[in-house]
Chain A
Amino acid sequence: MAALSYGTALRIATRELRSSLGKFAFVILSVAIGVAALTGVRGFSASFRSMLTLRARSIMAGDLSARINQQPTVLEQAGLDKLSGEGNDATQVVELNSMASSPTSLDPLLVSVKSVDPRKYPFYGKVELTPAIPLSEALTPSTVAVAEDLLMRLHMQVGDSIKLGNGLFRIVATVQNEPDRLSGSFAAGPRVLISEDGLTAAGLIGFGSRATRRYLFRMPQPRPGQPSSDQAVAALKTRLESTLPEAQITDYREANPALTTGLDNATTLLSLMSLISLVLGAVGVAMAMRAHLQQRLDGIAIMKSLGARSGQIMKIYVLQTLLLGLAGGLLGVLLGVGVQLSFPLFLAKLLHITPEFRFDPFSVAAGLGAGLVTTLLFSLPPLLDIRGIRPILILRRAVESADDPFLMRLLRKLRGNLAQIGANLLILVGLVFLASGVAGSLQGGFFFSLGLALILLILLGMSALTLLLLRLFLRGTRLHLPSTVRHGLANLYRPGNPSAALLAALGLGVMLITGVYFVQQAAVRELHISVDKNLPNMFLIDVASTEVEGVRKLLLEQPGVTAEPEMIPVINARLIAVDGVAAADLRVKSGPRFGPRDNSRPAGDRAPRGMMRNLNLTWAPKADQPPPGDKVSEGRWWTAQQAADSAKSPLVAIGKFPAQRLGLRIGQKVTLEAQDQQFTATLAAIFDTDSRHAFSRADFVMPEPVLRPFPAIWYGGVHCEPNATSGLQRALYAHYPTITVINVAATIEVVRQAILQITYVIQFLAAFSIFAGVVILASSIAGTRFRRTREVVVLKTLGATRPRIATIFSIEFAVLGLVAATVGLIFANVGARIFLHYVLKIDYHFQLGLTLFALVVTASLTIAAGWLASHRILGQKPLEVLREQ
């Protein structure tokens, strides 16, 4: 028997497509939106991300930094030379305290000197000087740039000379901002920025001078304008750790955890969203194809009765599917490019950035391929159903064994349909690959696909169960219900209406859409907390106890200050013993892989040797609460009563990192010594610092009554509007000249802006996926309208008015929407919880109001979509349809 030629099959396929292009517009749109999300969102987020990681790197001024407190050994230097010989750029930053004076007066001033190689430093970011001259021009062997308050204190101005060590240097500029201010030492005294040669000339680096050295590294860029990958950075970090075992090595990701976490979460979220858009698109395709084939039943039956084999008919519809997938994919790629082009334009005002657009043929091809493959995969089950169509259909609509429980039918179907199972497995495998590609990890893709399949199965089961229960209800109450309600409910059981599948698909859609919303909301909220406007951006160092109240008052009077200043008392103490074991004998665990989150302090602080020498002990402003920014991670904070009793039974709370380092457990006895007085306290709580509050500087907290007798040095943290910081600095200097002010407002502002940008992008893209999902779902509902046409006509002939029919349909859609929304929302909450907890590590709070709102919105949208779809049929003249039979 001659096979149906591809030419003929194609002709039939295209003719059918052309005759009902309107209907297929939905299929094409579904695919297109999914593909657009995939290419556009991915492409945009990739360029956005690479731009933001550049910004994150600027906080450290390099990809990696290695900090050591002494001159590197010959061996270490050789290792460093080897590393920088491999294409890695390296430069050295030396920070030390010294005395400076004006040549005319001999009043010395403690300054914090920082020497850099102006040809290389900074690798990322920019040093802002006034006047705005390049750093290499400002820093010659005989010139320096200094902080403004140095000029104030020494009564000098730009152009004057300053005496530093053995040298005399001309001040050519003031330093407004250093990109790596947050990563450098928080040393007392105004900044003096000097070249390496200048530092040598001043003779400040001598034997025994306490200088901190930071080696900054910049790795070779894979492509111009694109930073090296995280894996490459991590690899170099490992090598550096073996080269400089004594050094504290941090990569740019650790320089500002809030920013990098935000960025990582955003990337994960965006992958998830684009993947979800594609899956929604696929669901739309599957539903549309099913509806389409349902309508073609007669035609297929006729062809079969004329001797066509299933394979030949499938050829037609596979071709049709491919054409649709291709059209959708092409449109999607165009849309995606449009999205990529228009997002930055749209957001430029909001973000003040314009990510560079790169046309990436690979991602276009990938998008097209994804569209084609998803369309084909998800259409497979309905296509395979073609084989089950019997020619008898022409003569008589097959009697569906609708009375079987759904599961029985499913089982029978599964048994009799190995090909279907194969197709579904194929879909699953395809999905795993697709998801892996999008998520960038096979594991992630695997979990996503498996989770989705599992949820879909559960959804199917739940939908079937709900329908069964509704049906029982209907059967029980049948004639007692108002007729419109009864008809509406009965419509759910329309023969050939895959209500369980439709419900499951709708439920899945609702789940994905609301899940995206829940997740993005939680992520954005978390990010907003991390950029709380009132976080300190000015730090005060060396405030005497007698000055604290005055400083607080002065700060509050300043115009740019928006929140109560944080004043933290610090008592120098030493660790003596844990549970009676002397500190020197403690077995110390190696530090956590990614190091402490706060890198503004020298490494020695946290090393046990350091703790034996010096640790920061403080008390919290409120007796029964941890200090601002600290969160209890283990144990319990003391009550006010316990605090009051603490003189007799002292308690202590210790930061997570030193506690981990010492291997401490709640209830252990920790012996500390301050001012030659020892006290043993019980470890009541272990807390985590957010490294953004002034209190993050103290890792040991005890109740105030224990510590009151000891002399304390105070530190302060205050938030000041970025444009008012110099006024605040001047005022502070005028009243308290001995207090050093470290202004990180500019850096914090960079971080804050970057994180806000991340939240905008997340929200924007979430809105896009949600919109896309709603469109796809609405079109799926609309796809069911063809089945209603005949009903409308019959009802009309029997005298039903349009409002009446609309009411019946509304009830049907409302039930559909409500059931799908309920099921979907349950899973959205569960899914969001799992995803937030395990992937983004964010707490999830169930929001009843939001969930109920989503329920109402989903039901209303379902009704609205149903109405829109039925509108035209309602207006049709009955005869037109009857004539078509």
Chain B
Amino acid sequence: MPEVLNGAPASAPMISVEALRKSLRTGSTTVDILKGIDFAVAPGEFVAIMGASGSGKSTLLGLLAGLDNPTSGDVRLNGLAISYLEEDKLAQLRGRTIGFVFQSYQLMPTLTALENVLLPYELNDESGDRKAGLERARTLLDSVGLSTRVDHYPVQLSGGEQQRVALARAFVLKPPIVLADEPTGNLDTANGQHILDLLLSLNSQEGTTLVLVTHDPALAAHASRRIVLRDGLVVSDELTPQQATPGQGTGMGTGMGI
């Protein structure tokens, strides 16, 4: 979807969050998870959302991806309000706009690594060009170092390998946005570092807008901007000093667009 990127003026945010609230009702008690959040993410930006457990960061990510409806407020992806879209419309939008990386990989156990990577392509690509999809999936698996394991099933892969497959899957459709929920949370330091490197390099190659949820400051240090949540509110939103070049991602994105 490079045209989405190219067509958008640099000032228009890729993601904008407006007065976002989410409450969960369990029985008689209502728990406010998000209490009114506003921010915008420019195209190509790499944002880390941080916060302690229970601060609402995963919920926020879910709402960004349209995995749930907010109680009030709105999420706009590239100008399109997604929060109250019909479920199937939302699914299509998700498939074409967002790549998702989960903490626990969430690969389809019945499909091989290659098929898992191909899945978003099959679900969302309307060009019918299967060959191109396969080609892309193989390339991505190759780039995450799994070219020899394409026909393995998830149970035959280690955690790190599964997460690499998940990474490839998230990027297969060249989505303008990739959302990652503690992508290294289940992995050891070495594997986690590897995943992070891959994520960053894929992100810079593809020029995607990346939103990463983590409680790990070391991980967040790689981001260009850090948003910290506490008790459902944004308590700090600042650019990371050493990488304070917001335009960088955009430049690379427009430049690459494979």
Q: A479-B134, A797-B94 are in contact. Are A490 and B106 (CB under 8 A)?
A: no
Check A487–B67 contact: CB distance below 8 A.
no
Q: A798-B95, A798-B100, A798-B123 are in contact. Are A882 and B67 (CB under 8 A)?
A: yes
Which of B57-65, B71-79, B208-216 sits within the interface?
Answer: B57-65
Q: A495-B155, A877-B67, A877-B68 are in contact. Are A801 and B108 (CB under 8 A)?
A: no
Instruction: Give the one of B100, B107, B109 with max A CB within 10 A.
Output: B109
* 7 A-B pairs (CB sep. < 8 Å): A490-B108, A491-B110, A795-B108, A797-B100, A798-B120, A800-B91, A879-B62
Q: A491-B110, A877-B67, A878-B67 are in contact. Are A396 and B134 (CB under 8 A)?
A: no
**Is A697 located at the chain interface by the 8 A CB criterion?**
no
Check B110–A799 contact: CB distance below 8 A.
no
Given A794-B107, A796-B91, A879-B59, 15 other A-B residues pairs in contact with their CB atoms under 8 A: A396-B159, A478-B115, A479-B115, A479-B130, A479-B134, A483-B119, A487-B111, A490-B110, A494-B110, A791-B108, A796-B67, A797-B65, A797-B100, A798-B95, A798-B169
Q: A490-B110, A490-B111, A883-B58 are in contact. Are A799 and B67 (CB under 8 A)?
A: no
Check A802–B87 contact: CB distance below 8 A.
yes
B98-124 near A? 1/0 per residue, CB < 8 Å:
001011101111110011001110111
Q: Which residues of A contact B102 (CB under 8 A)?
A: 882
Check B106–A799 contact: CB distance below 8 A.
no
Check A879–B68 contact: CB distance below 8 A.
yes
**Is B226 located at the chain interface by the 8 A CB criterion?**
no
**Is A880 located at the chain interface by the 8 A CB criterion?**
yes
- The 4 tightest CB contacts between A and B, nearest first, are A799-B95, A879-B68, A483-B122, A879-B62
Instruction: For A800, give its contact among B115, B123, B155 (CB under 8 Å).
Output: B123
CB-based A-B contact count at 8 angstroms:
103
Q: A801-B92, A802-B91 are in contact. Are A877 and B110 (CB under 8 A)?
A: no
Give min CB distance, B103 to chain A, whole Å: 8
**Is B3 located at the chain interface by the 8 A CB criterion?**
no
Q: A399-B155, A490-B111, A802-B87 are in contact. Are A877 and B69 (CB under 8 A)?
A: yes
Q: Which residues of B contact A402 (CB under 8 A)?
A: 153, 155
Q: Which residues of A contact B65 (CB under 8 A)?
A: 797
**Is A601 located at the chain interface by the 8 A CB criterion?**
no
By the criterion of a CB under 8 Å from any partner CB, how many residues of chain A are at the interface? 38
A residues neighboring B (CB under 8 Å): 396-397, 399-400, 402, 478-479, 483, 486-487, 490-495, 790-791, 793-804, 875, 877-880, 882-883, 885
Instruction: Give the one of A402, A495, A802, A878 with max B CB within 10 A.
Output: A878
Check A804–B123 contact: CB distance below 8 A.
yes
The CA-CA distance from A878 to B65 in the complex, in Å, is 10
Instruction: For A799, give its contact among B68, B94, B108 (CB under 8 Å).
Output: B94
B residues neighboring A (CB under 8 Å): 58-59, 62-63, 65, 67-69, 87-88, 91-96, 100, 102-104, 106-111, 114-115, 118-120, 122-124, 130, 134, 153, 155-156, 159, 169
Q: Which residues of B contact A800 (CB under 8 A)?
A: 91, 95, 123
The CA-CA distance from A491 to B104 in the complex, in Å, is 20
The CA-CA distance from A486 to B130 in the complex, in Å, is 14
Give min CB distance, B224 to chain A, whole Å: 25
Check A878–B68 contact: CB distance below 8 A.
yes
Q: A878-B68, A879-B67 are in contact. Are A885 and B104 (CB under 8 A)?
A: yes
Closest to B69 in A: A877
Closest to B61 in A: A879
Give min CB distance, B41 to chain A, whole Å: 19
Check B106–A797 contact: CB distance below 8 A.
yes
The CA-CA distance from A495 to B107 in the complex, in Å, is 12
Give min CB distance, A312 to chain B, whole Å: 29
The CA-CA distance from A494 to B155 in the complex, in Å, is 11
Instruction: Give the one of A493, A791, A795, A797 with max B CB within 10 A.
Output: A797
Instruction: Give the one of A396, A877, A882 with max B CB within 10 A.
Output: A882
Q: Which residues of B contact A487 (CB under 8 A)?
A: 108, 110-111
Give min CB distance, B112 to chain A, whole Å: 8
Check B123–A797 contact: CB distance below 8 A.
no
Closest to A790 in B: B106
Give min CB distance, B105 to chain A, whole Å: 9
Q: A795-B108, A799-B124, A877-B68 are in contact. Are A399 and B156 (CB under 8 A)?
A: yes
Q: Which residues of A contact B134 (CB under 8 A)?
A: 479
Q: Which residues of B contact A791 (CB under 8 A)?
A: 108-110
Give min CB distance, B125 to chain A, whole Å: 10
The CA-CA distance from A180 to B93 in the complex, in Å, is 84
Check B115–A486 contact: CB distance below 8 A.
yes
Instruction: Give the one of B63, B65, B87 with max A CB within 10 A.
Output: B87
Instruction: Give the one of A399, A790, A791, A879 with max B CB within 10 A.
Output: A879
The CA-CA distance from A397 to B120 in the complex, in Å, is 25
Q: Which residues of B contact A878 (CB under 8 A)?
A: 62, 67-68
The CA-CA distance from A490 to B96 in the complex, in Å, is 24
Check A799–B155 contact: CB distance below 8 A.
no
The CA-CA distance from A862 to B87 in the complex, in Å, is 26
Q: Which residues of B contact A885 (CB under 8 A)?
A: 103-104
Give min CB distance, B151 to chain A, whole Å: 9
The CA-CA distance from A399 to B159 in the complex, in Å, is 12
Q: A399-B156, A883-B58 are in contact. Are A801 and B88 (CB under 8 A)?
A: yes
Closest to A796 in B: B91
Give min CB distance, A244 to chain B, whole Å: 77
Q: A397-B155, A797-B100, A798-B95 are in contact. Are A803 and B88 (CB under 8 A)?
A: yes
Closest to A805 in B: B91
The CA-CA distance from A880 to B26 in the complex, in Å, is 13
Closest to B119 in A: A798
Q: Which residues of B contact A790 (CB under 8 A)?
A: 106
Q: Which residues of B contact A877 (CB under 8 A)?
A: 67-69
Check B92–A799 contact: CB distance below 8 A.
yes
The CA-CA distance from A657 to B62 in the complex, in Å, is 85
Q: Which residues of A contact B104 (CB under 8 A)?
A: 885
Check B155–A400 contact: CB distance below 8 A.
yes
Q: Which residues of B contact A483 (CB under 8 A)?
A: 118-119, 122-123
The CA-CA distance from A400 to B154 in the complex, in Å, is 11
Give min CB distance, B157 to chain A, whole Å: 10
